[in-house]
Amino acid sequence: MADLRINLAGIKSPNPFWLASAPPTNSGYQVQRAFEAGWGGAVWKTLGDPILNVTSRFAAIHFNGRRVAGFNNIELITDRPLDVNLKEIYETKKKFPNHAVIASLMVEPKQEKWHEIVKRVEDVGVDGLELNFGCPHGMAERGMGSASGQVPALVEKQTYWVKEVAKTPVIVKLTPNITDITATAEAAANGGADAISMINTINSLMGVDLDTWNTIPHVAGKGAHGGYCGPAVKPIALNMVAECARHPNINVPISGIGGISNWQDAVEFMLMGATGVQVCTAAMHHGFRIVEDMIEGLDHYLDSKGIAAVSDIIGKSVPKYSDWGDLDLNYNIVARINTEVCINCNKCHIACEDTSHQCIERLTDGSGKSYLKVREEDCVGCNLCSIVCPVEGAIDMIEVPRELAPMTWNERQAALNAAVECQADVTK
Amino acid sequence: MSEYQQFLAERDQIDFLIQKGFQISQVKEHLDGATVEFVHPKENITETLLIGNANARKYFSSLLIKQKQRRNG
Ligand SMILES: Cc1cc2nc3c(=O)[nH]c(=O)nc-3n(C[C@H](O)[C@H](O)[C@H](O)COP(=O)(O)O)c2cc1C
The answer to whether residue A135 is catalytic is yes
Mean pLDDT by 10 residues, chain A (428 residues): 97 98 98 98 96 92 94 95 98 98 95 97 98 81 80 95 98 97 98 98 96 96 95 98 98 98 98 98 98 98 98 98 98 97 97 96 94 96 97 97 97 90 57
- Domain A328-399: give its CATH code: 3.30.70.20
pLDDT (0 to 100) of residue A426: 52
Rounded to whole angstroms, the Cα distance separating A84 from A372 reads 66
Closest CB from A330, A377, A423 relative to B26: A423
Yes or no: say if B51 and B34 are a contact pair by the CB < 8 Å rule.
yes
**Pocket lining: A260 vs ligand 1, CB cutoff 6 Å:** yes
Closest CA of chain B from A382, distance in Å:
15
Q: How far is it, in rounded angstroms, from Cα B73 to Cα B61?
A: 18
Domain ranges of chain A: 6-320, 328-399
Q: Which residues of B touch A352 (CB under 8 A)?
A: none
Contacts of A237 (CB under 8 A, 6+ apart): A176, A198, A199, A256, A257, A258, A259, A269
For the beta carbon of residue A318, count every other beta carbon within 10 angstroms.
16
- Do you know the residue count of chain B? 73
* CA nearest ligand 1 atom 19, residue: A200
Residue in chain A lying closest to B3 (CA): A378
B25 touches A: beta carbon within 8 Å: yes
Residue minimizing CA distance to atom 3 of ligand 1: A22
Question: Hey, are the CB atoms on A407 and B68 less than 8 Å from each other?
Answer: no
pLDDT at residue number A135: 75
Residue A9: the pLDDT is 98
Residues of chain B with pLDDT under 50: none
The secondary structure element, H or E, covering residue B30 is strand B23-30
The Cα angle at residue A139 between residues A189 and A197, in degrees rounded to 5: 30
Using the mean position of ligand 1's atoms as its centre, give its distance from the Cα of residue A15 in Å. Answer: 20
Quote the pLDDT of residue A423: 63
Task: Say what the pTM is.
Answer: 0.95
Residue A139 contacts by C-beta under 8 Å, 6 or more apart in sequence?
A: A51, A76, A77, A106, A145, A147
The full 3-state SS of chain A, as one line of letters, equals CCECCEEECCEEECCCEEECCCHHHCCHHHHHHHHHHCCCEEEEEEECCCCCCCCCCEEEEEECCEEEEEEEECCCCCCCCHHHHHHHHHHHHHHCCCCEEEEEECCCCCHHHHHHHHHHHHCCCCCEEEEECCCCCCCHHHCCCHHHHCCHHHHHHHHHHHHHHCCCCEEEECCCCCCCHHHHHHHHHHCCCCEEEECCCEEECCEECCCCCCEECCECCECCCEEEECHHHHHHHHHHHHHHHCCCCCCCCEEEECCCCCHHHHHHHHHCCEEEEEECHHHHHHCCCHHHHHHHHHHHHHHHCCCCEHHHHCCCCHHHCCCHHHCECCCCEEEEECCCCCCCCCHHHHHHHHHCCCCEEEEECCCCCEEEEECHHHCCCCCHHHHHCCCCCCEEEEECCCCCCCCEHHHHHHHHHHHHHHHHHHHC
**How far from A40 is each of A43, A74, A133, A224, A261, CA to CA, in Å?**
11, 27, 24, 35, 16
Mark which residues 38-57 of B lie under 8 Å from A by CB. none
Q: Is A230 in the pocket of ligand 1 (CB under 6 A)?
A: yes
Distance from CA of A159 to the nearest CA of B (A): 48
From the CA atom positions of chain A, what is the Rg in Å? 25
Q: Whose CA is nearest to atom 15 of ligand 1?
A: A200
- Interface size between A and B, measured as CB pairs under 8 A: 47
| Shortest Cα distance, chain B CAs vs residue A418, angstroms | 9
Distance CA B2, CA A375 (A): 11
Q: How many CB atoms lie within 10 A of CB A123?
A: 11
The pLDDT value recorded for residue A134 is 80
What CATH number is given for A6-320 in this structure?
Answer: 3.20.20.70
Is A327 near chain B, with CB under 8 Å?
no
A77 lines ligand 1 (CB under 6 A): yes
Kind and range of the H or E run holding B57: helix B54-72
For the CA of A231, the nearest atom of ligand 1: 25
Interchain CB distance below 8 Å, B26 and A329: no
Give the minimum alpha-carbon distance from A412 to chain B in angstroms, rounded to a whole number.
6
Backbone angles phi, psi at B50, to 5 degrees: -100, 115
Q: Tell me which of B18, B63, B65, B70 to substitute to probe the interface with A (most A C-beta atoms closer than 10 Å).
A: B65
* Closest Cβ–Cβ partner in B3, B37, B68 for A418: B68
**Cβ atoms within 10 Å, residue B72:** 7
What was the pLDDT predicted at A177?
A: 95
DSSP character for B69? Answer: H
Give the integer Cα–Cα distance in Å for A166 and A311.
Answer: 26
Domain residue spans of chain B: 3-72
Query: What ipTM was estimated for this complex?
Result: 0.95
Distance (Å) from CA A26 to ligand 1 centroid: 11
Do B2 and A378 lie within an 8 Å CB cutoff?
Answer: yes
Contact A273, A245 (CB under 8 A): yes
Most A CBs within 10 Å: which of B15, B62, B63, as the mutation test of the A interface? B62
A6-320 and A328-399 agree in CATH topology? no
Cis peptide preceding A24, ω within 30 of 0? no
